[in-house]
Structure 1
């Protein structure tokens, strides 16, 4: 009898626990569903505010800082939602994921652990974004008093590749410096690593109507130009007019600072009363260039992972709605994670163009496989065999088409402006990756066009491609030796 009572009691307790657990899970599922809906609504509201603000000329620094903070919260929340939805989708499919192809296994290796974005993180993101939106009420009211720019920068998911992404605050800071009256020749250094958008930012500033009205002349020079005889560039200057001079300090120019100081002293001596109010912008890449300025420098940093994801997501899907293709989101996230080893904005545009060409999971996994297998090599002096006499980054890759025995070494990126189509290489990186071109007969080294920017200064990026097996073997040995020495 005691055994029967014990068994009945155990069964009742088990059923009660199962009932309570079920109720808790239902409640948790309802809570997280409400959180997702709240986050989606908050993201939509934030996008409306950000896109409307980016179509206005905002001179107030506090408003720009507030906008920058909202944009950052927007990018973080969008990244968290996509990561959570992918994690939830993977859990719901269970064992199906274990039978995926090798390319899908690569996704799991590259992405951060799914537990890094859990229910608590999503709740925090909702609260943070909603709080940021509540703090934007005065901003929205003041925004109505800001004049519209002559051209709308972009509409998200449609024209983002034709705009300067996320630099509105920095642009207005430069414009403010240029419009401030000054008796002395003021110099603003803009410092940042390679391929972070320094020249693009400055070019957008120079095209701003407020700047063009302020300065009679705008000159663009490099540190190489400053080393030429004075008459080569002084003939461009009218020292009786207010001018803006942009000087790009090239890293490989060992005498850049001395050339700059000579130029600066000469322009101080030559300018007349009419030339007062002239300004200089120096584009540099190292902390050593900070000493060239007369005002605090402007530092540009690479985009955060969440910002890069927001940008890349819009480019990759184009006019398609990512919510309609949840199977493609984890592949895009894996590619975004891998992109941090490349020049991010350039890589985002190139890879996104490949993805947009074919919105199928098979094609996207193929792109991921190729990008994941690229070997990045950092070399010092590589020798004449590579026609390269300075340190640099080299990439060893296979094309998208499975062509056997075809490794390709890519290196020596150059930035070219003002080039005509006939002066640029005929072979593009897209054709190289897809195998859609024939190699120049008998040539083992040739130039390829990596990317052409759609926004000023319309820079073209050119690479050297080498398919000589001996050169590739030499590069590998040098790379391995450098790794051992360090």
Structure 2
């Protein structure tokens, strides 16, 4: 009996020691992999930043740069998920332990933990290994790319460029921008000298107008074209009666609807009479308008989840170092996943969070945004961003600090929208509670550029009086259209 007991004890001790040794070895191995990934990301980011400061005209190099950028964002995404995911639970416990906030945060944190644990440890390790292999392959093959970059013309950087790209969500659009610049600056190679037509096609709020705005403000474009002409689609039908200068012109026209062939031919004939070297940019959501292209169209899509997460963290932390706020980094990762890659709400929430780097506050915003998603799924069966693309109402009651029933009319973009003389409040002020929604009707400033031309996205909000009769104790709903 003693022999059996001794053997069993020896076997248990042996297994325990093996488990501890394996665990320690695996931990050392994972730490080594994390360090390798961090060093690779630093090398790749250095190359990308250098490439962004060069004028690259080679299409193959642009494709390689785009692939390199995608791998880098993927690497950062995997690294942050691996480093900060375990911190989410402890952060949630810290917030829920506060007596004043326990009842408010309890359910939200519980759901948050469940979502955080949904990705298993093994899948996270697999992602880490995959990101490492992918970046190592790119680094091994980018020596020629680095040499070619050194031969490209260096671009004089405007000191505001970095902030301008972030504020206007031109982040990660370098390749598209360079493709457009290359097309506009090259000569027309057709025999008739007819203007080149470049369609820029993309979905709702992916940055088409902002890209064109950056192109039109480029010094090379301004010196190359004698005139930059913005035309509305309503002018197409009467274009033959308009008079335009006979100089090299960049024509920009945006189509919300399709245009018939006769009107298009009149327009094309008119711009063909402008100066030699005239080019036309078409902006539209409609893929069918690509049929008018005489050069390869530019197709713009939403940022990938990895790119969006990187961008949101940059905007939310501002000059602060995310490494100093691991709990906030976890919350930021979760928020970036929930927002459906929406540039507008990403900008709004990032601006709100950047002003208050407090764990409890960030969890509170996370909780309210989750409530907003739940409401919209219950009411409309879809994510708010998808609903906005369909021009349908969006429930935002749980997102704002003072719940109030109102409807927000479809947005409009312009440099001066103050003609209505309505009271104005910013979306961020409604979220943090520094302003209450005015009664009846008001303007909601959703987004405003911090640099010229100070473009604005404003929505007209109308009080929904049919819901005012509801008891004050109940939650009231506001909808966005």
Q: Where on the TM-score scale, by shorter chain, does this alignment land: which range?
A: 0.7 to 0.9
Say whether residues 1:267 and 2:266 are aligned partners.
no
Which consecutive unaligned segments of at least 5 residues does structure 2 have? Answer: 98-104, 382-388, 470-475
Deviation for aligned residue 1:461: 0.5
So what's the TM-score if we normalise by structure 2?
0.83
What is the CA–CA distance in structure 1 between the aligned matches of 2:157 and 2:411, rounded to whole Å?
Answer: 32
| Distance of 2:232 and 2:210 partners within structure 1 | 15
- Alignment pair present for 1:397 and 2:403: no
Alignment partner, residue 105 of structure 1: 110
* Deviation readout 1:261-318 (Å, 9 max, x if unpaired): 43223333x44xxx22211111111122122222332111110100100100111111
1:312 aligns with 312
- Size of the aligned set, in residue pairs, is 449
Partner of 1:386: none
Please list the CA deviations of residues 185-235 of structure 1 after superposition, one character each: whole Å capped at 9, or x if unmatched. Answer: 22111111121111111222222233223221111112123345754xx33
Unpaired segments ≥5 residues, structure 1: 380-389, 480-486
Is 1:218 paired with 2:247? no
Query: Please, which of 202, 205, 208 is the counterpart of residue 198 of structure 1?
Result: 208
Instruction: Give me the whole-angstrom Cα distance separating, in 2, the residues matched to 1:159 and 1:193.
Output: 19
User: Matched residue of 1:140: which SS?
Assistant: helix
Residue 64 in structure 1 maps to residue 74 in structure 2: no
Among 449, 467, 475, the alignment partner of 2:445 is 449
- Give the RMSD, CA atoms, in angstroms: 3.4
Equivalent in 461, 465, 469 of residue 465 of structure 1: 461
Contact persistence 1:445–1:468 (CA under 8 A): no
CA distance in 2, matches of 1:437, 1:91: 33
Give the 5 Å matches for 1:131-210: 131-152=137-158, 160-161=166-167, 164-182=170-188, 183-210=193-220
CA contact (8 A) 1:110 1:338 kept: no
Cross-structure match for 1:387: none
1:280 and 2:280 are equivalent in the alignment: yes
Q: How far 1:39 sits from its partner (Å)?
A: 1.2
CA–CA distance in 2 between the matches of 1:444 and 1:422? 14
Secondary structure of the residue that 2:466 maps to in structure 1? helix
Alignment map for 1:27-46 (pairs within 5 Å): 27-46=25-44
Structure 1 match to 2:336:
336
Query: Which residue in the other structure is 2:245 paired with?
Result: 238
Aligned to 2:120: 115
Structure 1 residues 420 and 66: CA distance shift in structure 2, 3 A: farther
**Counterparts of 1:110 and 1:256, CA distance in 2:** 50
Q: Residues 261, 447 of structure 1: CA spacing in aligned structure 2 closer, same or farther, 3 A cutoff?
A: farther
Q: Structure 2 vs 1, CA of residues 11 and 152 (structure 1 numbering), >3 Å: closer, same or farther?
A: farther
1:9 aligns with 2:7: yes
Q: Distance in 1 between matches of 2:28 and 2:107?
A: 35
Counterparts in 2 of 1:82 and 1:452: CA distance versus 1, 3 Å: same
